[in-house]
């Protein structure tokens, strides 16, 4: 058997036929299927019993002019950009993306964390609609009716996407109030439901920064830890030395749980064309410095098995005091032009990808023996 694997989207053609009593085919359904295994073992994520390190992004289905929604041409272009970066994965933040996107991921051998459309279950992000307790019955609380709707969406997500080999984990929610008194009662049945629907994949959720191991009531349910952390931006802004120390210290507390960690969001806003010799927030140089700092910390913690930068590209948002014509945390502009941070990630991830190759050959974008970077014919210089 030829297994589907990261970077090798090998698939078989499966055909199901319904014949009549005389041997004529009444109906036929064709499906491309990939054969692979995925599991968590200690603090490792294994695909086909081989450890993997996720490199990639949180992504939105958004682009200039078109706005929200799937665009088949843009999807192909974006996947070509993922290859340019040396990325091997992404999270469908914060909703199921078009199934055609997963078809492309299957074909390209990309690993996908597939996320349910459950975001904003948090008093701080609800615009005043939720009470501090967040979960329970009564005004301003998320109760049984919402839980039932959440379960229905999870059933639909798993039913639609379970045959995609690219999907290696289910994310039940993004940044809920996971330390709230009744968070366990709300999420426990949902985690159990997903495991019943699909016992073959890890189940997880994206943890928001205020919910630590000692307070989070949902973490014990997760097979894989997703941490959204913005040291250097929302915390320790303009103080990368403190940001590095605090990020390193926090990751150590999560690593003590013995589960694999994916830093599912990290980064900083950058306005394209804003430059400072001494990196300042909102400059391209500062965004690049935040990602360089984060990479050093991730490399020093063996439990970190993945890094997903927020975000792949700038995207539109409602107006707000922390938004400058949308969310500017993309390492690409909304029309997919690279900021300085894009080159930082490209060098880092392509070097890591080259190191994972069995033959040890050097790829374009990987470090040369002399310490420079090979960008290929006509490519951009290392500087």
pLDDT in tens, 97-149: 999 999 999 999 999 999 999 998 999 888 889 999 999 999 999 999 999 99
pLDDT of residue 377: 34
pLDDT of residue 355: 83
- Buried/exposed code over 19-54 (b: 16+ C-beta within 10 A; e: otherwise): eeeeeeeeeeeeebebebebebeebbbbbeeeebbb
Q: What is the mean pLDDT of the chain?
A: 92
The residues annotated as belonging to the active site are: 175, 265
Average pLDDT over residues 291-295: 98
Sequence-distant (6+) residues with CB within 8 A of 1 are: 35
pLDDT of residue 40: 98
**More reliable by pLDDT, 75 or 376:** 75
Average pLDDT over residues 286-293: 98
Smallest Cα–Cα separation from 212: which of 184, 236, 183, 179? 179
Average pLDDT over residues 32-42: 97
**More reliable by pLDDT, 65 or 178:** 178
Q: Is the pLDDT of residue 363 over 50?
A: no
Tens digit of pLDDT for each residue in 244-264? 999 999 999 999 999 999 999
pLDDT confidence of 357, banded at 50, 70, 90?
Answer: low
Average pLDDT over residues 267-286: 97
How far CA 39 is from CA of 212, 224, 356, in Å, comes to 24, 10, 20
pLDDT of residue 379: 35
Task: Give the H/E segment covering residue 262.
Answer: strand 261-265
Q: Is the pLDDT of residue 319 over 80?
A: yes
Average pLDDT over residues 31-53: 97
pLDDT confidence of 346, banded at 50, 70, 90?
Answer: very high
The rounded distance, in Å, linking the Cα atoms of 366 and 346 is 9
pLDDT of residue 321: 87
Residues in the chain: 383
pLDDT confidence of 364, banded at 50, 70, 90?
Answer: very low
pLDDT of residue 356: 78
Q: Is the pLDDT of residue 167 over 90?
A: yes
- Percent of all residues in the chain with a pLDDT value above 70, rounded to a whole number: 93
Q: Is the pLDDT of residue 361 over 50?
A: no
């Amino acid at each position: 058997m030829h297994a589907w694997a990261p970077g090798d989207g090998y698939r078989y053609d499966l055909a199901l036929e319904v014949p009549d009593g005389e041997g004529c085919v009444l109906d036929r359904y064709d499906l491309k299927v990939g054969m692979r295994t995925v599991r968590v073992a200690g603090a490792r994520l294994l695909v086909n019993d081989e450890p993997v390190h996720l490199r990639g992004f949180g992504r939105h289905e958004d682009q200039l002019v078109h706005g929200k929604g799937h665009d088949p041409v843009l999807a192909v272009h974006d996947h070509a950009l993922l290859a340019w970066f040396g990325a091997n994965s992404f999270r469908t933040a914060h909703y199921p993306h078009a199934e055609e996107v997963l078809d492309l991921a299957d074909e390209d051998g990309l690993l996908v964390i597939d996320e349910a459309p459950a975001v904003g279950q948090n008093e701080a992000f609800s615009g005043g609609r939720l009470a501090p307790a967040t979960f329970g019955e009564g005004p301003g609380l998320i109760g049984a009716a919402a839980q039932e709707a959440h379960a229905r969406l999870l059933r639909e997500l798993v039913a639609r996407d379970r045959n995609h080999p690219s999907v290696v984990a289910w994310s039940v929610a993004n940044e809920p109030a996971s330390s709230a008194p009744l968070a366990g009662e709300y999420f426990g049945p949902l985690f159990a439901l997903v495991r019943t629907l699909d016992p073959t994949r890890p189940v997880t959720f994206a943890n928001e920064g205020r919910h630590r191991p000692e307070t989070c009531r949902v973490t014990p349910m997760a097979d894989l830890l997703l941490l959204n952390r913005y040291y250097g931006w929302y915390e320790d802004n303009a103080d990368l030395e403190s940001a590095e120390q605090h990020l390193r210290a926090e990751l150590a507390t999560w690593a003590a749980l013995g589960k694999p960690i994916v830093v599912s969001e990290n980064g900083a806003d950058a306005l394209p064309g804003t430059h400072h010799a001494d990196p300042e927030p909102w400059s391209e140089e500062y965004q690049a410095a935040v990602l360089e700092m984060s990479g050093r910390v991730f490399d020093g913690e063996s439990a970190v098995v993945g890094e997903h930068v927020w975000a792949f590209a700038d995207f539109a948002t409602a107006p707000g005091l922390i938004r400058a014509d949308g969310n500017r945390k993309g390492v690409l502009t909304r029309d997919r032009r690279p900021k300085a941070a894009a080159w930082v990630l490209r060098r880092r991830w392509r070097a890591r990808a080259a190191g994972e190759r069995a033959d040890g050959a050097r790829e374009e974008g990987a470090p040369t023996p002399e310490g420079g970077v090979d960008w290929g014919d006509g490519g951009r210089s290392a500087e």
